[in-house]
Amino acid sequence: MGGKKKAVYKLSLIVLLSLSFTLSGCGGNNSGNGNKAGTAADNGGATATQTAAADTDGKIEPFEISFFIGEAGQQPTPDNKIFKKIKEETGASFNFEYLAGDINQKLGVMIAGQDYPDVMTGNTKLTAAGAYQPLEDLIEQYAPNLKAHYADYWNMMKDPNDGHIYILPNYGVYNGEVNSAWYSGPAFWIQKAVLKEFGYPKVKTLDEYFDLIAKYKEKYPKIDGSPTIGFEILNSDWRNWGLFNAPQHLIGHPNDGGVVVNDGVAEIFADKDYAKKYYQKLNEMNQLGLIDKETFVQNYDQYMAKLSSGTVLGMFDQHWNFSAAEDSLTTQGKIERTYVGLPLVYDTATTDYYRDLAVLNLNNGFGISINAKDPVKIIKLLDTLISEDWQKTLAWGIEGEDYIVENGRFMKTQEQRDNAADPTWQMANKAKTLFGYLPKIEGSYSDGNSTDASAQPEEYAASVKPYDREVLDAYGFNSYVDFFSKPPANPVYYPAWSIDLVEGSDAKIANTKLNELSTKYLPKAILADPADFDSVWGDYTGDIQKANVKAYEDKINEQIKWRIEKWSK
């Protein structure tokens, strides 16, 4: 070994050593996080006594909490009324970071750097990376209101992978009577003008629905000068349910995502005969020219632009996905072009099951990060905010300013209604994003008022426009929700779509494959010459069989079993 070689050898050794030191340094930090879970409660104990001491003094200590919000948004104004009130009464001020850009990229950077703010909105990637603190001990010790709020849902909140509670779900916990006047879920939507044109017929089946659209399109080939579009299907990126989900509803099943569950056993429906029947129908409708030629080429923005133009007669979609287009139509004064959701089924013997009782959404809401310096303060704050008084402030605003009370009923003047709908006003007078992700009372308060202003019957009645009144009266309904059958109690496991397939697992890969195959073949099948439909369908189901569907179904079934076991009371 020559001198030079030796030097190189030495040098590389030094490099290697220093590298491994740095790395093990990082490693040490990381593995520490695992233990932190256990010690969090102890740490919390120490700080808790401090806060308790402060509380007994009657002084309010100011503190700041940093929040990461996993969606794009706008900062509230610095003098926001609600945040000011929170600061005055609890000492808490907020530092929000909204998502800018791609969520996966942002999370990747956060996880790689272990750089977490105090509180983050729920995400399975963060859970998998161990970014959240377990909350069950914190809640037991310091948050009696939260404990009571979630009492019935306690087991459902546990992470199926390790049994800890990481996220406080924001929606799905109901109290009192539930008023709802707005249906946000999936349906076959049809323009109100179409129903009016044909004397408000009762539409129950898929065939009736397309007949109406065909007749209307024939009669009015153009709407406001643009060609009428019969039926629109959005299949862009993650918003792919417009193409995928309809078959399960048509056979009277609720939305379980990619599977249909019978007696606690899940199987995919993409390749089943009832799915074929739907796509064959679409194929026929395409032959009649009812389906937009560009439907599979467009992205979400183009889709929304078409809906907003009022030329689209119908589509299958979830209401929340296109409600912005309806707002635009309303602003344009084209109320007759807004939509009615119809719970279609294959035949009248099937009961529709589109509308479901809202479920706990575990992928949403807030979790406290492992980096939070003072989890006890945070949980105490959340505990305060779940109290009924604060909930009223967050949902309705301040009495006298944002709403009025008549005979114990909450109501708004027209000015207050206009304010509430004004985004600029909201920035200064509502804590909209924060409230959106906070644990919240849904349904009604103990005094019987709705927790949601738009669901308060008096408020809803006041907001119905004359055109809508006519439609509703023709059917004898109070609101558009009445088009749907009343939902039965949810099965214990429901819904299967919220099952975490676990990042990188075979099940998840199979699911991605399935998505890919459906995205590729279904448009082909729908646009195909009717004579070729069967052969395209054959290719499709053949490829599905090659994908590892079993891994996907097994994972779902395993989780369904787990849920039935753990969630049953």
Taking residues 532 to 561 in sequence order and writing x for each that binds another protein by CB under 8 A, - otherwise, the string is --------------x---------------
Choose among 85, 179, 142: nearest CA to 450.
Answer: 179
200-208, 327-335, 419-427, 504-512 -> range binding another protein (CB under 8 A): 504-512
Separation of alpha carbons 401 and 24, rounded Å? 58
Spatial neighbors of 530 by CB under 8 A, at least 6 apart, are 283, 284, 287
Separation of alpha carbons 352 and 27, rounded Å? 54
Residue with smaller CB distance to another protein, 47 or 240: 240
Candidate residues 1, 3, 5, 28; the one interacting with another protein per rule CB under 8 A: 28
Strands (E), 408-552: 409-411, 442-443
Residue with smaller CB distance to another protein, 59 or 546: 546
Q: How far is the CB of 100 from another protein (least distance, A)?
A: 14
193-201, 340-348, 401-409, 506-514 -> range binding another protein (CB under 8 A): 506-514
Residue with smaller CB distance to another protein, 49 or 512: 512
As beta bridge partners, residue 64 has: 93
Could you tell me the end-to-end alpha-carbon distance of the chain, in angstroms, rounded to an integer? 74
Taking residues 215 to 254 in sequence order and writing x for each that binds another protein by CB under 8 A, - otherwise, the string is -----------xx-------xx------------------
Residue with smaller CB distance to another protein, 75 or 226: 226
Separation of alpha carbons 384 and 220, rounded Å? 57
Q: How far is the CB of 299 from another protein (least distance, A)?
A: 7
- Please report whether residue 3 would count as binding another protein according to CB under 8 A: no
# residues near another protein by CB under 8 A: 46
Q: What is the 3-state secondary structure (H, E, C) of 22-78?
A: HHHHHHHHHHHHHHHHHHHHHHHHHHHHHHHHHHHHCCCCCEEEEEEECCCCCCCCC
Residue with smaller CB distance to another protein, 21 or 154: 21
29-37, 203-211, 390-398, 424-432 -> range binding another protein (CB under 8 A): 29-37
Candidate residues 65, 157, 455, 522; the one interacting with another protein per rule CB under 8 A: 522
- Please report whether residue 504 would count as binding another protein according to CB under 8 A: yes
Separation of alpha carbons 59 and 262, rounded Å? 57
Cis peptide leading into residue 343 (ω within 30°): no
Residue with smaller CB distance to another protein, 124 or 145: 124
Contact indicator for 380, 143 with CB cutoff of 8 Å: yes
- Please report whether residue 130 would count as binding another protein according to CB under 8 A: yes
Residue with smaller CB distance to another protein, 265 or 297: 297
Candidate residues 296, 493, 540, 552; the one interacting with another protein per rule CB under 8 A: 296
Distances (CA, A) of 73 to 238, 333, 533: 20, 28, 45
Candidate residues 74, 77, 104, 424; the one interacting with another protein per rule CB under 8 A: 104
Spatial neighbors of 352 by CB under 8 A, at least 6 apart, are 249, 252, 343, 344, 345, 484, 485
As beta bridge partners, residue 444 has: 450
- Please report whether residue 131 would count as binding another protein according to CB under 8 A: yes
Q: Which two tokens stand for residue 121?
A: 């909105």
Separation of alpha carbons 391 and 236, rounded Å? 37
Contact indicator for 405, 411 with CB cutoff of 8 Å: yes
Residue with smaller CB distance to another protein, 106 or 147: 106
Separation of alpha carbons 424 and 432, rounded Å? 12
Q: How far is the CB of 550 from another protein (least distance, A)?
A: 17
189-197, 439-447, 512-520, 557-565 -> range binding another protein (CB under 8 A): 512-520
CA torsion, points 283, 287, 289, 294, in degrees to nearest 10?
50
- Please report whether residue 74 would count as binding another protein according to CB under 8 A: no
Helix (H) or strand (E) holding 92: strand 92-98
- Please report whether residue 524 would count as binding another protein according to CB under 8 A: yes
- Cα-flanking dihedrals φ and ψ of residue 231, to 5°? -140, 140
Residues 297-316 that bind another protein (CB under 8 A): 297-299, 301-302
Q: How far is the CB of 47 from another protein (least distance, A)?
A: 24
Choose among 174, 170, 175: nearest CA to 439.
Answer: 170
Q: Which two tokens stand for residue 223?
A: 């709407």
Number of other residues whose CB lies within 10 A of the CB of residue 353: 19
- Please report whether residue 108 would count as binding another protein according to CB under 8 A: yes
Task: Specify the amino acid at residue 13.
Answer: L
Residue with smaller CB distance to another protein, 270 or 522: 522
Helix (H, G, I), strand (E, B) or coil at 479: coil
Residue with smaller CB distance to another protein, 273 or 301: 301
- Please report whether residue 19 would count as binding another protein according to CB under 8 A: yes
Residue with smaller CB distance to another protein, 286 or 433: 286
Residue with smaller CB distance to another protein, 26 or 462: 26
Separation of alpha carbons 280 and 440, rounded Å? 44
Residues 391-450 that bind another protein (CB under 8 A): none
Which positions lie near another protein, rule CB under 8 A? 19, 23-24, 26-28, 30-31, 33, 104-105, 108, 111-112, 114, 125, 128-131, 226-227, 235-236, 293-294, 296-299, 301-302, 503-504, 508-509, 512, 516, 519-524, 527, 546
